[in-house]
Amino acid sequence: MKRVMDLVVYHGHPWFRKGTLTAGNNTSIHFYQPGCARIELTGDVVIGNDSMVGAYTRIYTHDHFHKGRDKTMFQMMKENGVKWNKLVIGNDVWIHDGATILSQVTLIPDGCVIGANATLTKNPGPYEIWAGVPAHKVGVR
């Protein structure tokens, strides 16, 4: 597990918060170079049992404040920090190669499939199949 953590996990803003990764039994995260998955841990990520995260997948748990024009985003970050969320990935989930999970996603429930190169911007329902950019529901398992 340490080898996976060293290759896959990084802390985007460790001076604000260092999140944790918890993975269930029989969970697979692609960690071979080149093409390992990358999981940004400002917020926490919990992955259930029997789930798979493919090569080149990117998971983000934070975003920057970017409302208004009177201050730069860098100034807003210095004053307000960053927004972060906890992401829960259920059991029996398959996140295909190259998928991007953005920080506003807080739950990928049991049985979901996220298509290759999809960009997930909202929470899917259980056993739904999502694909595209931005990702949308294309089927049900």
Give the model confidence (pLDDT) of 41-99 as tens digits: 999 999 999 999 999 999 999 887 777 788 887 787 777 778 889 999 999 999 999 99
Which residues, in sequence order, are CB contacts of 80 under 8 Å at separation 6+? 65
What are 36's two structure tokens?
Answer: 């390992």
- CATH code, domain with 23: 2.160.10.10
Element (H, E) at 83: strand 83-84
* pLDDT tens profile 11-35: 887 878 899 999 999 999 988 777 8
Q: Are 68 and 50 in contact (CB under 8 A)?
A: no
The count of other CB atoms within 10 Å of the CB of residue 129 is 18
Burial per residue of 71-101, b for 16 or more beta-carbon CB atoms within 10 angstroms, e otherwise: eeeeebbeeebbebbebbbbbbbbbbebbbb
Q: Which residues contact 132 (CB under 8 A, 6 or more apart)?
A: 115, 118, 119, 138
Residue range(s) defining the domain that contains residue 18: 2-140
Q: How far apart are CA 2 and CA 92, in angstroms?
A: 23
Q: Tell me what pLDDT residue 3 has.
A: 65
Q: CA 12 from chain center: how many Å?
A: 13
- pLDDT grade, residue 4 (50/70/90)? low
Number of domains in the chain: 1
